[in-house]
Amino acid sequence: MALEGHHLPPIEGIRRIWVSLVIAIVGFVNTLEMSVAYLALPSIAGDLGVSPPQATWVITSFAVTCAVVTPLSGWLSARVGQVRLFIATLLLFALTSLLCGLANSLPLLIIARCLQGAVVAPMMPVSFALLLQAYPPNRTAQAMSISMVAMMCAPIVGPVIGGWLTEHFSWPWIFYINVPIGLGVAALSWQLFRDRESPRIRLPVDIIGLVLLCIWVGALQIMLDKGREQNWFESSEIQLLGVTSLVALGYFLIWEWYEKHPIVDVRLFANRSFMRGVVVNSLWAFVYLGNMLLLPLWLQQSAGYTATWAGLVVAPGGIAAVLMQPFAHRLLQRGGVRVLGSCGLAMLALSASLRAGFTSGIAPEHVLLAQVFNGIGSTCFTLASSMMIFSGLSQWQIASATGMASFARLMAIATGTSFAVTYWDRHTMLHRGDLITHITPDSSGVGEFLSVSPVGAEAPALSLSLIDRLLMVQAQTLAANDYNWLSVMLFIGLISLVWLSPGGAGRGTKNIDVSAH
């Protein structure tokens, strides 16, 4: 490719600090936008006069379009130019956010969210490529850490910001707030990057590949979103979506591998380090995000925490992740990718094992301790897996590689969260059924509870309802513990995959050079 002979020098001085700040803001907003609408769904459903299940299409529409467009990041940046694409996505992000806030019906909001997902998708891969190009090769890990810190801060303050805007103003403000941010960052980015445009290549549009991509990703995302409420593959609709996605995926991979100008460069997987990094990172995301979804749900539904307290005890994990960044970078330099990744997974396994011992009366400090280990582990592992993914790639492959890795992670997150919720629901029913066999009117514990209950004598049915609630709480707790033990085994199993990667000894970044080739 013509790009291989064209290299951009690193940025020096105060300008590089501004570049880091801009990319950090983009990473923060991008990560925040993935989840902020969850908090406003009840308000959206009420204001637009739709049911909560219908309102979830606000999430699904964004996720589907984002998943479809993300792997196209490399093709788009080659055709449009990295800087032009980056500026355009920022401006369009501001515009589509405004449209989301102005929508006065669910169909209009869904259309606006589809457009927003399409412009957000390439934003992070391209910004990551621009960040890596701004740093010298021997400081690649530091550049990655900057992006990771921003993305880890979003889950800490995001729920607070979204909840406050929705409560004190209205749900459109979770979108309106993006308008000045998008415009301001676009103006600053043009000043920083206008002389660092990448060469443009006029590639033909791979129509067949694009259509196949839309079919299999769209079918898969809708299947994952609707599977739980339709009891998964017991529904003919879910079966059809699953078969459609699988068949279209097979055709897509074959077509893209042999296509001269593919819409998605699947040949990147011929790079063993990239393939292993993507596989390990995706498997981690599958397990990790399931845990992050279940913990606040369990705290509120079973442990009696309010939404505010659940957020407060979960947030220290993000704080620990941010504070761990410099230490993780030092460990990478001393021990290499394998040691750093293994330490991260060990910390994640330790955190999951602590959560596996939680009871419904768990004290906040015990949750906080598990979250601290979780934050430390996530920082170490994500830095190690990022180094694996980008090892040996040229700077002009970064956008495409980031898009592919982000796409794989998005699919793993969607699959993992669906799996986690389904696993929790089904194991809750199993444990509840087992507990019920030990509860009868003749049981001494039940009789004693009814005799001392203030409503037992006058309203025994109410007391039995309370017993049923207590059983459900215990069943949910046992099911959550089951999932955490499963997570422990999966995290430990991933350590063996980390040791298949290069970079096991000596300086962890010596073979990683984004300006190579």
The answer on pLDDT for 89 being more than 90 is yes
Element (H, E) at 377: helix 364-390
Residues 196, 252 within the same domain: no
Convert the pLDDT of each residue in 378-390 to its tens digit: 888 888 888 888 7
Angle of helix 106-120 relative to helix 82-102, nearest 10 degrees? 160
Residues 404, 489 within the same domain: yes
The confidence score (pLDDT) of residue 102 equals 92
Q: Which of 231, 262, 293 is the last residue of a domain?
A: 262
Residues 192, 315 within the same domain: no
The confidence score (pLDDT) of residue 513 equals 44
In a domain, 139, yes or no: yes
Residues 201, 288 within the same domain: no
Cα–Cα nearest to 98, from 182, 190, 185: 182
Percent of the chain with pLDDT over 90: 13
- Over range 395-419, report the average pLDDT: 74
* CATH number of the domain that residue 425 is part of: 1.20.1250.20
- Over range 228-234, report the average pLDDT: 75
- Over range 127-133, report the average pLDDT: 81
In a domain, 122, yes or no: yes
Query: Band of the pLDDT at 346, cuts 50, 70, 90?
Result: very high
Cα–Cα nearest to 63, from 175, 252, 218, 278: 218
Q: What's the total number of domains in the chain? A: 3
The answer on pLDDT for 315 being more than 60 is yes
- Of 236-240, 419-423, 469-473, where does the model show the most confidence? 236-240
The confidence score (pLDDT) of residue 184 equals 92
- Out of 21-35, 94-108, 280-294, 457-471, pick the least confident: 457-471
In a domain, 217, yes or no: yes
Residues 233, 313 within the same domain: no
Residues 73, 184 within the same domain: yes
- Over range 461-489, report the average pLDDT: 82
In a domain, 183, yes or no: yes
User: Could you tell me which residue, 204 or 330, shows the higher pLDDT?
Assistant: 330
Query: Band of the pLDDT at 509, cuts 50, 70, 90?
Result: very low
Q: Where in the sequence is the domain holding 84, given as residue range(s)? A: 10-205
Q: How far is CA 216 from CA 201, 232, 241, 243, 446, in A?
A: 27, 17, 9, 9, 53
CB-based contacts of 278: which residues, under 8 Å, 6+ apart?
269, 389, 404, 405, 408
Convert the pLDDT of each residue in 56-65 to its tens digit: 677 767 877 8
Residues 329, 200 within the same domain: no
* Mean per-residue pLDDT over the chain, rounded: 78
In a domain, 150, yes or no: yes
Number of H helices, E strands in the chain: 19, 0
Residues 110, 221 within the same domain: no
The answer on pLDDT for 350 being more than 90 is yes
- Of 47-56, 166-175, 206-215, 455-464, where does the model show the most confidence? 206-215
In angstroms, rounded to a whole number, what is the distance separating the alpha carbons of residues 352 and 354?
A: 5
Convert the pLDDT of each residue in 132-150 to its tens digit: 788 777 676 666 666 666 6
Residues 175, 253 within the same domain: no
In a domain, 4, yes or no: no
C-alpha angle with apex 59: 56 to 62, nearest 5 degrees?
A: 145
Query: Band of the pLDDT at 510, cuts 50, 70, 90?
Result: very low
Query: Band of the pLDDT at 5, cuts 50, 70, 90?
Result: very low
In angstroms, rounded to a whole number, what is the distance separating the alpha carbons of residues 159 and 37?
A: 10
In angstroms, rounded to a whole number, what is the distance separating the alpha carbons of residues 8 and 227?
A: 47
In a domain, 88, yes or no: yes
Helix or strand or coil: residue 261?
A: coil
Residues 168, 89 within the same domain: yes
In a domain, 149, yes or no: yes
Residues 237, 326 within the same domain: no
The answer on pLDDT for 445 being more than 70 is no
Residues 407, 296 within the same domain: yes
- The whole model's pTM is what? 0.72
Q: Which of 157, 185, 205 is the last residue of a domain?
A: 205
